[in-house]
A and B are shown apart, each in its own frame.
Chain A
Amino acid sequence: MNMVSALNSALGLILEENANAIILGEDVGKDGGVFRVTDGLYDRFGPDRVVDTPLSESAILGASIGMAIAGLRPLPEIQFAGFMYLSFEQLINHAARFRSRSRGRFKVPMVVRTPVSGGVKALEHHSESPEAFYAHVGGLMVVEPSNPYDAKGLLIRSAHIDDPVVFLEPTRLYRLFKQDVPEDAYEVPIGKASVVKEGDQLSIITYGTMVPVVQAAVEKKNVSADIIDLRTINPLDEETILNSVKKTGRALVVHEAPLSFGVGAEIAARIAEKAMFELSAPVMRVASPSFPYPFPGYEQYYVPNENKVSAAIDKLLSS
Chain B
Amino acid sequence: MIMEVFKGSINYMQILDENGNIDRSLMPSDIDDSKLIEMYKSMSFARALDAKVLSLQRQGRAATYAPLIGEEATQIGSAFAMRSNDFFVPNFRQHGVYLARGLPLDLFFIYWRGIEEGNAVPESVNGLTVAVPVGTQMPHAAGIAYAFKYKKQDRAVIAYVGDGGTSEGEFYEALNFSGTFALPLVAIIENNQWAISVPRSRQSAAETLAQKGFAAGFKNILQVDGNDVLAVYKATKDAIEKANEGPSLIECVTYRLSMHTTSDDPTKYRPDEEVEKWKAKDPLLRLNKYLVAKGLWNSKLEEEMAADQKAKIDAAVEKAEAFTPDPKSMFDNVYSYIPPILKEELDDAVANGFYQ
Residues of B with C-beta under 8 A to A48: 150
Interface residues of B, Cβ cutoff 8 Å to A: 87, 89, 116-117, 119-123, 128-129, 133, 136, 138-148, 150-151, 169-170, 173-174, 176-177, 180, 329-330, 332-336, 339-342
B69–chain A nearest beta-carbon distance, Å: 26
- Complex partner residue of A100 from B180, B330, B341, CB under 8 angstroms: B330
What count of chain A residues pass the 8 Å CB interface test? 45
CB < 8 Å A-B pair total: 140
> Measured between alpha carbons, how far is A191 from B336 in the docked complex, in Å?
13
Known: A54-B176, A100-B333. A61 touches B116 (CB 8 A): no
B216–chain A nearest beta-carbon distance, Å: 10
Interchain CB contact under 8 A, A63 and B177: yes
A69 at the interface (CB under 8 A from B): yes
B144–chain A nearest beta-carbon distance, Å: 4
A139 at the interface (CB under 8 A from B): yes
Interface residues of A, Cβ cutoff 8 Å to B: 22, 48, 53-54, 56, 58-59, 61-72, 74, 89-90, 93-94, 98-107, 138-139, 141, 161-163, 191, 235-236, 238-239
> Measured between alpha carbons, how far is A68 from B140 in the docked complex, in Å?
9
A304–chain B nearest beta-carbon distance, Å: 26
Residues of A with C-beta under 8 A to B140: 62-63, 65-66, 69, 94
Residues of A with C-beta under 8 A to B146: 63, 66-67, 72
B165–chain A nearest beta-carbon distance, Å: 13
Give the most central of B140, B142, B145, B336: most A CB within 10 Å.
Answer: B140
Give the most central of A66, A70, A98, A103: most B CB within 10 Å.
Answer: A66
Residues of A with C-beta under 8 A to B173: 54, 56, 58-59, 62
Interchain CB contact under 8 A, B340 and A239: yes
Interchain CB contact under 8 A, B147 and A70: yes
Nearest neighbor of A72 in chain B, beta-carbon distance: B147
Interchain CB contact under 8 A, B143 and A103: no
Interchain CB contact under 8 A, A71 and B151: yes
Residues of B with C-beta under 8 A to A67: 143-144, 146-147, 150
Question: What does DSSP make chain B's interface, helix, strand, loop or mixed?
Answer: helix
B184–chain A nearest beta-carbon distance, Å: 12
- In the complex, besides A58-B170, A103-B117, 5 extra interface pairs with C-beta distance below 8 angstroms are A22-B150, A56-B173, A59-B142, A72-B146, A105-B121
Residues of B with C-beta under 8 A to A66: 89, 139-147
Known: A66-B142, A71-B147. A99 touches B333 (CB 8 A): yes
Nearest neighbor of B143 in chain A, beta-carbon distance: A66
Q: Could you jot down 12 A-B contacts, CB within 8 Å?
A: A58-B139, A59-B170, A61-B139, A62-B138, A62-B143, A65-B140, A67-B143, A70-B144, A72-B147, A89-B136, A104-B120, A191-B339
Interchain CB contact under 8 A, A138 and B342: yes
Nearest neighbor of B147 in chain A, beta-carbon distance: A70
Interchain CB contact under 8 A, A93 and B133: yes
A279–chain B nearest beta-carbon distance, Å: 20
Nearest neighbor of B170 in chain A, beta-carbon distance: A58
B88–chain A nearest beta-carbon distance, Å: 13
Known: A22-B150, A56-B176. A62 touches B144 (CB 8 A): no
